[in-house]
Amino acid sequence: MFAKQRSLVKQKDFEKIFKQGRAYYTKLLGVKILTNQSNFNRFGIIVGAKVSKKATERNRLKRQLRQAVWELDKKLKPGFDLAIMALPGFLNQTYANVKSELEKIFKGLKIFK
């Protein structure tokens, strides 16, 4: 998986992305994006209690999103902070659907190489 420096964990990083970044949403996922000053991308994944009340289900969804992002990161331009949010319809999706939704979003944001 990703190294620690590739993850967004601090609240101030998320606040900066949500205030200054641009957004792209589909029915299942939302992504907020902001440029950073590094030569790699940083990712933060948010799966809230509105998606599922069960922590085990939320954690499974986070693992699916992390794996899809990890596979697609090789195709992305470097230098972005991305906050990926699961929306309530996301719960019963297959991994193939998750990955295709992320590809659709990244194409819409024009961050593929």
pLDDT digits (tens, 9 = 90+) for 39-70: 999 999 999 999 999 999 999 999 999 999 99
Is residue 15 assigned to a domain?
no
Q: Is residue 5 over pLDDT 90?
A: no
Q: What is the three-state SS of the chain?
A: CCCHHHECCCHHHHHHHHHHCEEEECCCEEEEEEECCCCCCEEEEECCCCCCCCHHHHHHHHHHHHHHHHHHHHHECCCEEEEEEECHHHCCCCHHHHHHHHHHHHHHHCCEC
CATH number at residue 87: 3.30.230.10
Is residue 72 assigned to a domain?
yes
Q: How many domains does the chain have?
A: 1
Predicted confidence at residue 1, as pLDDT, reads 61
Is residue 43 assigned to a domain?
yes
Global pTM reads 0.91
Is residue 57 assigned to a domain?
yes
- For residue 41, what are the domain limits? 26-107
Is residue 19 assigned to a domain?
no
